[in-house]
Chain A
Amino acid sequence: MNAIIDFFKGVGDYLATAFDKTFIREARYMMFLDGLKNTLIIALCATILGVAIGALIAMVKTVHKQSGKLKLLNAICEAYTTIIRGTPVVVQLLIMYFIVFANSTRPVLVGIIGFGINSGAYVAEIMRAGINAVDIGQTEAGRSLGLSHGVTMRSIVLPQAIKNVLPAIGNEFISLLKETSVIGFLGVIDLTKAAQRVISRTADPYFPYIAIALVYLGVVCILNYFVTKLEKRLAKSDRT
C-alpha cells in the first residue's frame, strides 16, 4: 500500500517539478508562447500565400484546358507542381534558406515563402477541383455577355469555386500548422523548437514534448471545429 502511495507521490512530485522547470522558471512559458505565435503566423501566412499561388495555377491550367491558350505558362505550372510535389518540404526549405535567400536574416519570412510555395502546389489541385465543380453554364453565361475569359474566371467562376473549397483550404491550414514543426531547421523558434530549447536547459525531454503535442492537438481540434461548422453553414446556404 505504502509503495503505491509513494509511487503516486513520486509521480506528483515529478510532475510538479517538471511543470515548474519547464514552464515557470525563468518565465519559460514565454518561449512556448513565442514559439506558438511563430507557428501560427507561419502557417496562416503560408496558407494565404498558398491559396493565392494555387488559385493562379488552377486558373492557368483551366484556361489552358478549355481554350488551349497559355501554353508556356501552363508548362511552367506543370513543372512547378511536379517539382514541389516530388521533393520533401524540408529539402525545399533548406534550399530556400541556404541557397535562394542565402543572405536572409529573416528565417520566419523565408519559412512563410517556403511553406507557401509548397502549399500552393497542393492548393492548386484543390482549386482546380473547385473550379471544375462550378457549372460550365456559368462560364458560358459570362462569355455570352462579352466578358473576357479572365474576367469570367476572376469574377464569376473563382468566387464560387473558393466557396466550394473553403473547408478543404481550412484542412490545408491545419496540415500546414503541423508541418511547420520542421521550421526549426532554419533556426526559427516555433513551438517545437521552443520545446527543444527548454529541454537543452532542463535535460528532461518527457514533459515538454508531451506538452507541445497537447498544444498542437488542442489548436488542431479548435480549428477542426470551425472547419466543420463552416462546412455545415455552406451546405445550408447551398440548399436554399
Chain B
Amino acid sequence: MTELETMQTNETVAPSDVIIETRDLHKSFVKGKMVLDGIDCTIRRGEQVVVIGPSGGGKSTFLRCLNMLETPTSGQILVNGEDITAKGVDLDKVRAKMGMVFQHFNLFPHFTVLKNITFAPVTLKLQTPEEAEENAMRLLRRIGLEEKAEAYPSQLSGGQKQRIAIVRALAMNPEIMLFDEPTSALDPEMVGEVLDVMKELAKDNMTMVVVTHEMGFAREVADRILFIDQGHILEQGTPEEFFNNPQQPRTKEFLAKVL
C-alpha cells in the first residue's frame, strides 16, 4: 500500500474506530541519526497489527513511542483523538489504558505474582483490593497458573513469567496491548505457551500491536503487517499480500532471509 492509499483508507474510517494515530513521527537518540524518520500509522479498535523488520530498524522504538516510554523528537501521537505528545497531558492516565509487555518480562521481583497483578489497579484506585484479587485469580485461571498466585517471580520459568506479565497488563482492562518482542528472551520450548495466550487475546478482539520475529504468529494472527526499516514503514498489508507478494526489494530481501 502506498502512503497515499493509506491516507485514503484513514479517511473512510469513522474517527471513533481509530484508537491510535501517529503523524509524521520522528525520533532520534543521537543528533543527525533518525531512528524513526516520519511514521504515519493508524491503529483501529480490535485490530491486530504485527510489526516486523530487521534489528535496529526502529520497530521497538516505534512501539515504545506509542505509550511515550520514548519521547518522540517531533510528530504527533493521537490516542482516542488526544495528542499525547502535547504538554500537560496526564500520561499516567493514558498509559493506564495501554498495556505493555516487555521482552524481559520486568515482573516486580519483590512482589508475589498476585501482587504483581493487583498492585497497579489497587494503587490507582481503579479496583478495590477484593475486586483486583478476584480479577487477578480469574485471569490466572485462564492461563492455568492460579496455583502460582503466592509464588515469587524468581520461582517461575521464563514462559510463566511472560504469561503473568501479560496478565498483569490485562488486569488494568486496557484498550490496547503493546508487545515488545515478547518471545525473544524465551527458551524455544516456551515460546508456544506465550504465543497461545496472545492468540487467545486476538480471538477476543483485543487491539494489539506486536513487535516480533515470529513469522508464523504474524501470518496467523495479524490483520495487518507493518514492515519497518530505517525508520520508515516500508510496506504494509495483510499477511497474504505481505508474505506472498511483497513489493519492496528490501522487504523481499528480508523475507528471503527469515522464511
Cβ distance A227 to chain B, nearest Cβ, rounded Å: 21
Instruction: Tell me, yes or no, whether A151 is within 8 Å of chain B by CB.
Output: yes
Cβ distance A157 to chain B, nearest Cβ, rounded Å: 10
**Which residue of the partner chain B has the closest CB to A148?**
B92
Residues of B107-128 whose CB lies within 8 A of A? 107-110, 119-120, 123-124
Instruction: Tell me, yes or no, whether B211 is within 8 Å of chain A by CB.
Output: no
A137 to B153, alpha carbons, bound, how many Å?
15
Q: Which of A146, A147, A151, A160 has the most CB of B within 10 A?
A: A146
Q: Are B123 and A135 in contact (CB under 8 A)?
A: no
Enumerate chain B residues within 8 angstroms of A142, measured Cβ to Cβ: 108, 120
Q: Are B110 and A144 in contact (CB under 8 A)?
A: no
Residues of A142-161 whose CB lies within 8 A of B? 142-148, 151, 155-156, 159-160
Cβ distance B168 to chain A, nearest Cβ, rounded Å: 7
Q: Are A140 and B123 in contact (CB under 8 A)?
A: no
Enumerate chain B residues within 8 angstroms of A145, measured Cβ to Cβ: 95-96, 119-120, 168-169, 172
Q: Are A160 and B69 in contact (CB under 8 A)?
A: no
Instruction: Tell me, yes or no, whether B254 is within 8 Å of chain A by CB.
Output: no
Size of A's binding interface in residues, CB under 8 A = 19
**Which residue of the partner chain B has the closest CB to A144?**
B100
Instruction: Tell me, yes or no, whether A228 is within 8 Å of chain B by CB.
Output: no
A160 to B94, alpha carbons, bound, how many Å?
27
Q: Are A146 and B108 in contact (CB under 8 A)?
A: no
The 8 A CB mask of B13-51 against A (1 = contact, 0 = none) is: 000000000000000000000000000000000000000
The 8 A CB mask of B93-108 against A (1 = contact, 0 = none) is: 1111111101010111
Cβ distance B127 to chain A, nearest Cβ, rounded Å: 13
A146 to B99, alpha carbons, bound, how many Å?
9
Among A143, A144, A160, which residue has its beta carbon within 8 angstroms of that of B109? Answer: A160
Q: Are B102 and A160 in contact (CB under 8 A)?
A: no
Residues of A94-136 whose CB lies within 8 A of B? 135
Enumerate chain A residues within 8 angstroms of B184, measured Cβ to Cβ: none
Q: Are A143 and B154 in contact (CB under 8 A)?
A: no
The 8 A CB mask of B151-164 against A (1 = contact, 0 = none) is: 00011000000000
Q: Are A143 and B69 in contact (CB under 8 A)?
A: yes
Enumerate chain A residues within 8 angstroms of B104, measured Cβ to Cβ: 135, 137
**Which residue of the partner chain B has the closest CB to A146?**
B96
Interface CB pairs A-B, < 8 A, 20: A138-B106, A140-B69, A140-B100, A141-B102, A142-B108, A142-B120, A143-B69, A143-B92, A144-B99, A144-B100, A144-B102, A145-B95, A145-B96, A145-B172, A146-B97, A146-B124, A146-B172, A147-B124, A148-B92, A163-B110
Return the 6 tightest CB-CB contacts between A and B, nearest first.
A146-B96, A141-B106, A145-B120, A144-B100, A137-B106, A146-B95
